[in-house]
Amino acid sequence: MFKKLLILLFFIIPQCLFSQAQFVKDTLFTNGDSVVVSATRSERKLSNSTVPVTLINAQTIQQTGSIRLTDILKEQTGITMTSGFGAGVQLQGLNPDYTIILINGEPLVGRTAGVLDLNRIALGNIKKIEIVKGPSSSLYGSEAMAGVINIITDATSKIPLEASLRMGTYNTKDIILNNGLRSKSVFYQGFYNYYATDGYSIRPNSNNRITTPINRLSTSQQIKFNINDRTSILLNARLTDETIKSNITVSNGGVTINSNGNEHNTDANLNATLNYHFTPNLKTSFRSYLTNYISKQDLLTISGAPYNDLLNHLFKRIENQTDWTLRKNLNGIFGIGAVWEGVKSSRYDSDKLRKENTIQYGFTQWEWIPTNKLIIIGGIRFDKNASYASAWSPKLSMLYKLNASHKIRLSIGQGFKAPDFRQLYLDFTNAAAGNYSVFGSAQAQKVIGQLNSLGQIGGLYNNYYLLKALQPESSTGIHLSWEWTPTNKTFISTQLFRNDITNLIEVQQVGTYISGAQIFSYLNIGRAFTQGAEWEFKQNINNQLVLSGGYQYLITGDKDQIAEIKAGTVYTRNASNISTRLTMSDYIGLPNVSKHKAQLKINYSNDKGLFANFRIMYRSKWAVNNTNGNQVYDNGDDFAKSYYSLHSSMGKEFTNGIAVQIGADNINNYIDAIHLPNLAGRTYFINLKYQIKYKH
């Protein structure tokens, strides 16, 4: 069927109209002059950015055979993919909740338990991905605490038509159609993607598929009008619609319940931007954005009882940003905006009622270039929230070019994460596991008060009286980096970072029912830190061969736990299960964080369109479960084993626009079904692509 479609496409394409494809020679150093926007909310050359930015271009995405955002992120230094509620991203040891995901500068919404499933994002029309780590990076507001991942598409693509078909293990199909139209003043890019997989079962003797069958349709439409020299309008629309067949096994108290049904997720984004240049030195842009994420689970348990779960997150934003170049060496940015968001969920008191929040914000940022060796950027953002306390996010960063081959970057800043709707409004009683309840902090006192007047409350803990309006979680980060390019073929960078997080929102018991069942709510109580170092290098061995790699060393900790351990009130068990006092040397820190992570890649590409690469990723062990009877993670707990995985891909682009690529992932067939459910065993793929390019 799909092959037929592809063949059909080949025939209907009037090949003769267009010239032959031009090869873009990929050298890793083309990044040197690339323009990035995420670090400073304005276009800057990567080499002049005051904070380190990881830039992934379309060629890298293609040559590694990446089709979803998760595929390419997991190959970056210092980034770990998490599993559970989809594939989330862990930056510098911080959970997925703390990284904001942007598409063309606009945030994606629709998180489950704080995780935004990055499998939702198809890469077939991506121009580049920018990653900025640390809170000192940006002025993006809530969630930009661990970092920012900005996915950038391009309306002015030079490709009028591109079609590709990929087939892989587990009956995985990925079909992409990209089309572009351009005139002098109008640019259009359309993207269509169909993805389907049967899922896979990597548990021996089990029919329980880890990744369940998925059907996913994505489209993105982008139009840019250059109305005149001063004015342009950009319209973006994006839609992802997925159906996941669910066969869920829930174990509670040893009771296993099987449920069957579908999960249906829709993610829609609409964005209109008006850009206007008053003068070459003064420009402004108005952005409006609407996004809606709807997730529905319709399951039937084995006993016939329905299980329905609904999440509907609507987010609207308007923003104005003005860029003003005062003098050649001084320019400023001013922005104001307003957000309205609302969430309906069956886990709140009523899924008919939308819980709402409004945010008004303003930010400014100044860039000063006192000498040609030094760039200093300072900025601040203020977010005024209706439903929880307001937040300031200041930042200061600088770049010092010691000489042609040494650059030093230093940045300090604060980021925050607003309490999410779940932490404010959850109203959930788990009938399947002892009837414990979790109430969002915004209404816990009211709900528990009502229960109390009905005589259902057995006792209230001190935490109940401490409940108050939640503060945003806040992080202060400091990053120091040194970039060294000893020759034009070698690049080495070293980064040191430390993030201190306060006001972490944690679930705490606030009381009990008469029956003894627990009642929980959310309080700002935690304090934690993450710190470490990152090294990255690239070496052009010759014109065709590039070796690159990276390593991250990371340590994390919960400051309150450390204080308790030092006070001698934390216990663990020795090999014969006898309790002993825990010492700091056995303390691990935060769970799901690996101390060491490394990757090494070798890329070959020649001017005849042939390319091949070989990549190896390593991740050291990480703590997953508290199994030795204390509430902290230590050496006696349950760990996921360290592992490495090998990946390779090769392909050829022919001059007539046809490209063929084959690849294999997880060649060493590493499987850990419990801790790495997203890592299938060894898989293969073949990709065929046909591309037409305009004459220049």
Of 370-378, 386-394, 570-578, 681-689, the window that binds other proteins (rule: CB under 8 A) is 570-578
Q: How far is the CB of 127 from other proteins (least distance, A)?
A: 40
Q: What single string gives the DSSP state of each residue in 56-81?
A: EEHHHHHHTT--BHHHHHTTSTTEEE
Tell me if 445 contacts other proteins by CB under 8 A.
Answer: no
Is residue 8 helix, strand or coil? Answer: helix
Residues near 241 by Cβ (< 8 Å), separated by ≥ 6?
216, 217, 218, 264, 265, 266, 267
Q: Which of 14, 254, 280, 455 binds other proteins (CB under 8 A)?
A: 254
Q: What whole-number distance in Å separates Cα of residue 46 and Cα of residue 441?
A: 43
Using the rule CB under 8 A, which residue among 183, 279, 303, 453 binds other proteins? 303
Interface with other proteins, residue 578, by CB under 8 A = yes
Instruction: Examine residue 207 and tell whether it contacts other proteins (CB under 8 A).
Output: no
Candidates 58-66, 306-314, 342-350, 512-520 — which segment interacts with other proteins by CB under 8 A? 512-520
Label residues 274-311 b or e (16+ Cβ within 10 Å = b). Answer: bbbbeeeeebbbebbbbbbbbbbbbbebeeeeebeeeb
Categorise residue 431: left if φ over 0, alpha if ψ from -120 to 50, beta otherwise: alpha
Residue from 628, 649, 687, 691 binding other proteins (CB under 8 A) = 628
Residue 313 burial (CB count, 10 A):
22
| Beta-sheet pairing, 490-513 with 457-460 | antiparallel
- State how far the alpha carbon of 601 is from the alpha carbons of 126, 420, 489, 616, 649, in Å: 22, 38, 16, 6, 11
Site for other proteins in 21-60 (CB under 8 A): none
Interaction of residue 627 with other proteins, rule CB under 8 A: yes
Closer to other proteins by CB, 664 or 673: give it. Answer: 673
Rule CB under 8 A: is residue 112 a binding residue for other proteins? no
Distance (Å, whole) CA 649 – CA 647: 7
Extract the runs of DSSP E, i.e. beta strands, from 577-642. 579-581, 596-605, 610-619, 622-625, 638-640
516 makes contact with other proteins (CB under 8 A): yes
In eight-state DSSP terms, residue 94 is B
Binder among 569, 655, 656, 668 for other proteins (CB under 8 A): 569
> Which residue in the set 20, 30, 515, 656 belongs to the binding site for other proteins (CB under 8 A)?
515
Which of 96/335 has CB closer to other proteins? 96
Shortest Cβ distance from residue 429 to other proteins (Å)? 14
Q: Counting contacts by CB under 8 A, is residue 435 touching other proteins?
A: no
Which of 228, 435, 580, 669 lies at the binding interface for other proteins (CB under 8 A)? 580
Does position 433 interact with other proteins (CB under 8 A)? The reply is yes
Min dist CB 654 to other proteins, Å, is 48
Q: What are phi and psi of 130, to 5 degrees?
A: -115, 135
Work out how close the CB of 571 gets to other proteins at its nearest, in angstroms, rounded to a whole number.
3
Using CB under 8 A, which of 22, 228, 579, 669 touches other proteins?
579
Structural element, H or E, at residue 335: strand 330-345
Taking every pair of C-alpha atoms in the chain, what is the biggest distance, in angstroms?
Answer: 82
- Distant-in-sequence, close-in-space partners of 379: CB < 8 Å, separation ≥ 6: 139, 333, 363, 364, 365, 366, 394, 395, 396
How many other C-beta atoms lie within 10 A of the C-beta of residue 206?
Answer: 11
One residue of 207, 487, 577, 585 binding other proteins per CB under 8 A? 577
Which one of the spans 99-107, 127-135, 472-480, 628-636 is the region binding other proteins (CB under 8 A)?
Answer: 628-636
The reply on whether position 638 binds other proteins by CB under 8 A is yes
**Tokens 């340590």 correspond to what residue?**
555
Degrees to nearest 5, angle at CA 67 with 178 and 31: 85
Cβ 95 to other proteins, closest distance in Å? 16
Nearer to other proteins, 351 or 638 (CB): 638
Residue among 432 and 545 whose Cβ is closer to other proteins: 432
Listed residue (379, 313, 469, 424) closest to 144, CA to CA: 379
The reply to whether 674 sits near other proteins by the rule CB under 8 A is yes
Residue 204 within binding range of other proteins, rule CB under 8 A: no
The region of 182-190, 284-292, 441-449, 564-572 touching other proteins under the rule CB under 8 A is: 564-572
Binding mask 385-424 for other proteins (x = CB under 8 A): ----------------------------------------
Q: Which residue is associated with the tokens 């139209």?
A: 181
Binding to other proteins by residue 488, rule CB under 8 A?
no
329 interacts with other proteins by CB under 8 A: no
Considering only CA atoms, which of 599, 492, 584 is closest in space to residue 549?
599
For residue 17, state whether it binds other proteins (rule: CB under 8 A). no
Taking CB under 8 A as the rule, does residue 20 contact other proteins?
Answer: no
Q: Is 314 left (phi over 0), alpha (psi -120 to 50) or beta?
A: beta
Using CB under 8 A as the binding rule, whether residue 256 contacts other proteins is answered as: yes
Q: How far is the CB of 257 from other proteins (least distance, A)?
A: 7
* Positions in the binding site for other proteins (CB under 8 A): 251-257, 302-303, 433, 515-516, 518, 569-573, 576-582, 624-631, 638, 674
